[in-house]
Amino acid sequence: MKTEILEQLKAQGPMTMDALADRLGQAGAKNFTNLVKTVSDMESRRQLTFKKDGTIGIREKKPKAMTLKGRFSAHKNGFGFVMLEDDVEEVFIGRNDGGYAIDGDTVEVVVTKPADRLKGTVAEARIVDVLEHSLTTAVGTLVLDDEKPKYAGYIRSKNQKISQLIYVKKPAVILKGTEVVKVDIVKYPSRHHDYFVAELRDIVGHVDDPGIDVLEVLESMDIVSEFSEEVLAEANAIPEKPTEADFEGRLDLRDEIIFTIDGADAKDLDDAIHIKVLPNGNFELGVHIADVSYYVTEGSALDQEALRRGTSVYVTDRVVPMLPERLSNGICSLNPNVDRLTQSAIMEINDKGRVVNYQLAQTVIKTTYRMTYTAVNEMIAGNQETISEFGKIVASVDHMVTLHKILEEMRVRRGALNFDTKEAKILVNNLGKPVDITVRQRGIAERMIESFMLVANETVAEHFDKKELPFIYRIHEEPKAEKLQTFIDYASTFGIPIHGTASSIGQEALQDFMAKVSGQPNSEVLSMMLLRSMQQARYAENNHGHYGLAAGYYTHFTSPIRRYPDLMVHRMMRDYGTKAVSETATHFEAIVPEIASQSSQLERRAIEAEREVEAMKKAEFMQEFVGEEFDAIVSSVVKFGLFVELPNTVEGLIHVTNLPEFFNFNERTLTLQGEKSGVVFRVGQPIRVQLTKADKLTGEIDFEWLPSDQDVIEKRLKSSNDRKDRKGRRGPTRGKAQGHSGAGKDKKKASASKGKGKKPFYKEVAKKGGKHGKGRRTGGRAK
C-alpha cells in the first residue's frame, strides 16, 4: 500500500484523505482506518507531510548539506575535535553534537558555524555519521554483574575518553571476576542502548599477576608480544650464522676496526661504526646496519607481521619487539667477533662536515668490540684503565670525537634546532613496581652516535631523491603559522625579540633566540614550548625535508630491527641494485604511500602506549608521597590551572578550583594572576607544592600550591575582559575548553602538613646509556 500511496501522490500531486482513499479503493470504514494508519506511519518516517490546506503530499527532501570527513578526537568531558582529512584544519564538536561517535572514529561532519580568524576560534560542526569505528577490541578487569542476565559482566576501557561500559556476553568458560580479559566489540552505543556489547576473545591474566598493569595497557592498544606459529617457524628456519654463499657479491670489511656502541642493557645491536683519516685529511666514516631485509623477505609471514607491528614498543620494564628475538637478538644483532651481513653507508666527510663522496653497499663485517656508552665516555674523559682495556679503538674514538664536533657545528650553521629536553628513566623491581625515577643524561658518546646516524640517514635519502626513484622519507614540515605565532608572542614576554614573522620565520632566527636564552632559568621551558609549536615528524612518499634538522633530505635507515620504514629502505637499496629499475620503481610507487601512512600511525600508537605506561608508573611511584611537600617548577599554564614538574620529571596539575582566590588567565603571556593578591604563575617559575593525589589507574597527579618566598607578586592590571573571564566564558578553541578530574574538589589549606619535609627520592642520578630498557634509541636515532 505504501508504494501505491507514493505512486498516486507522485502522479496526481497532494490530495485529501478522501480523494486518496477513492483512488486506492480504500473508501470503506475498515479499509479507510488501515489507510489512515499507513499514512500516519509514513508521516512519522518523514516520507509524507500534511500541508496547511489539509492535503497530503510527498515530503520534499532538503538538499543534503555538504559533509566533511575526519578523525574524531574526544575529550573526557564530552566535547571534542575532528581533524579533517587534509590534516590542515580541525573543527570543534560540542557535547551535544558528537552523536554516538567515540574517540578515534572516522566520522562525517556538517559545519554548523564557520571559523572566526579574528577571534581565533575554530569552526564548529556536528557529527552526522560514523564511517569507521576505531575501537574494535578492548581490555579490562571483568566486573561480574547479574543486572543484565545475558552478560557475564562488564569492563571499562583503558581509554578515559570512553565512558560507556562494555558488557561481555556469557562465554562457555566460568569467569570468577579476577580476570583481565580481551574482548571483541560487536555492538556500539546507539539511541537504543548506551553501552558496548562484546564477546570474549582471550583471558590476558589476573588482577594480581606481576606486570599485568603494563600488559593491560599494551593489549588494550592491540600491541601483542606473542608471535604466531607461522612467524616463529620462519624465524627458526633461518640459520644461526651466515655462510660463504651469503657473502657473494658483498663488500668484505672484516679487516676494518668496526665496533658497536650501545647502552649496557641493549641486546639488539643493529648499528656499528668504523672511522679513519684519509691521506687528504678527510674522514672516512662507515655506518654499518644489520641487513634485516636479507632475512625478512617481502610478503613473507615475518614481513607481514613486522608491517602489522610497525615498530618495537619500549615501555618501563619490557619491550614488545617488531621481530622475533631469534632475529633481533641473534642473527641480525652485530655481536662481537662473529660474521654479520650488513648494509653500509661509507662516507668521505671534509672538515666542514660535508659529505664529498660516499658508497652505499651490501657488506659483511666482524665487530671488534661491543662497547657501551659508559665505557666510551670514560675513554673520552681520559680514564686510563678503560683506555688500556680497549686499546685497539683509542685512535678511532679520538677521530669520532673530532668528527662529531665538526658535524654538530655544521648542523648548527645550517639552522638545526636542538630540543634538549629531560627524559625520565623509571626503575622497577622484579614485580614491576617502580622504586625510583631518575633523569637520563646524555654524554658525548650518545651524541656522537646520534651525529653519525643523522649523516647516514641524510646521505641515503639524498641518494634516492636525486635519482628520482620512489622512496620512503622521514619528513618534518614547517610549523603552522598560528602555533608559531603563539610561541613568538609568549617568547616576547621574556624581552628577547625573535626576528621574522610566523609565516616567514627561518630556523636560524629560532636558533638565535634559543642561543640567547641558553643557560638562563627559562631556557628548558622555552625549548619545550618551541617543540610543542612544531608539527609531528612522519613518513611520506614525497620528500619535504626535515625542518627541525634543517635537512633537505632525510630518511630512517639505521634501525631495521625495530622500525619497518628502515627495513623498507634496506629492501629498496637491494632491489634497485639487483632488479629491473623501471619494474621495481613501479612496484614501490604503488605500495610506499600506504606503508608510510600506516607506519606513521603505528609510531603514534607506540608513543601513546609509552606515555600511558610512564604516566601510570609515575603515579604509582608517587602514591607513597601523598601529603609531602616539594620544590617544583611551573611547566605549563592553562586556563583551568597550572602544571608543575618535580626535578625527577614527574608532572602534575594544580587546578584553579584548588587555588585560594580567583585567578585571571592571560592567553598571550600564558600566566595566571590572583585577583586580589597579584600572585602570578608563569612557565619556568619555581614553586612550592604539596602532593594531594596520585592515581595509578588514570595516571593523574594533583598538587596544591603552598605560598613561599619564591612566589612572584605583580601589580594587578585590570581589564575589561576580567568580568567576562569571571563568568567562565568558554570558546570552542583548543585549550579553552575546561575540565579536569580535580574540578569540584574541596579546597584545602595551603599550610597543610607543614614540617613534614620531602624525601630525597628524586635525586638526579647520572645513569649512562642512550637506550630505554632493552635497546631503545634516543636523540637522533628517534628523530
- Are the C-beta atoms of residues 774 and 267 closer than 8 Å to each other? yes
The kind and range of the H/E element at 488 are helix 481-492
Residue bearing the bigger pLDDT, 186 or 499: 186
Largest CA distance in the chain: 112
User: What is the average per-residue pLDDT within 347-364?
Assistant: 97
- In this model, does residue 596 exceed pLDDT 90? yes
User: What is the average per-residue pLDDT within 54-68?
Assistant: 79
Domains 2-58 and 68-132 agree in fold: no
* pLDDT score of 208: 87
CATH 2.40.50.700 fits 137-209, yes or no: yes
Residue bearing the bigger pLDDT, 503 or 544: 544
* pLDDT score of 498: 78
CATH topology of domain 2-58: Arc Repressor Mutant, subunit A (1.10.10)
- In this model, does residue 729 exceed pLDDT 70? no
291-295, 431-435, 489-493, 669-673, range with the lowest pLDDT:
489-493
694 DSSP β-pair partners = 701
- In this model, does residue 122 exceed pLDDT 60? yes
Q: How far is CA 308 from CA 72, 311, 361, in A?
A: 23, 9, 28
- In this model, does residue 782 exceed pLDDT 80? no
Tell whether the torsion through CA atoms of 14, 16, 22 and 27 is positive or negative.
Answer: positive
Task: Sketch the domain layout of the chain as residue ranges.
Answer: 2-58, 68-132, 137-209, 230-474+550-613+772-782, 478-534, 629-758
* pLDDT score of 718: 53
Residues 6+ apart with CB under 8 A from 603: 310, 311, 538, 539
Residue 51 DSSP SS3: coil
* pLDDT score of 502: 73
* pLDDT score of 506: 76
CATH 2.40.50.140 fits 629-758, yes or no: yes
- Write the class of the CATH domain 68-132: mainly beta
* pLDDT score of 30: 76
Q: Cell digits for 348?
A: 668521505
Number of Cα atoms under 13 Å in the Cβ half of residue 398: 9
* pLDDT score of 287: 98
Residue 246 DSSP SS3: helix
Question: What pLDDT band is residue 18 in, cutting at 50, 70 and 90?
Answer: confident
Question: What pLDDT band is residue 767 in, cutting at 50, 70 and 90?
Answer: very low
Residue bearing the bigger pLDDT, 722 or 407: 407
Alpha helix locations (H) across 238-290?
Answer: 244-247
Residue bearing the bigger pLDDT, 336 or 158: 336
User: What is the average per-residue pLDDT within 149-169?
Assistant: 88
Question: What pLDDT band is residue 756 in, cutting at 50, 70 and 90?
Answer: very low
Residues 6+ apart with CB under 8 A from 425: 437, 438, 439, 440, 767, 772
The kind and range of the H/E element at 307 are helix 301-309
User: What is the average per-residue pLDDT within 56-76?
Assistant: 82
* pLDDT score of 730: 35
pLDDT in tens, 264-322: 888 889 999 999 999 999 999 999 999 999 999 999 999 999 999 999 999 988 899 99
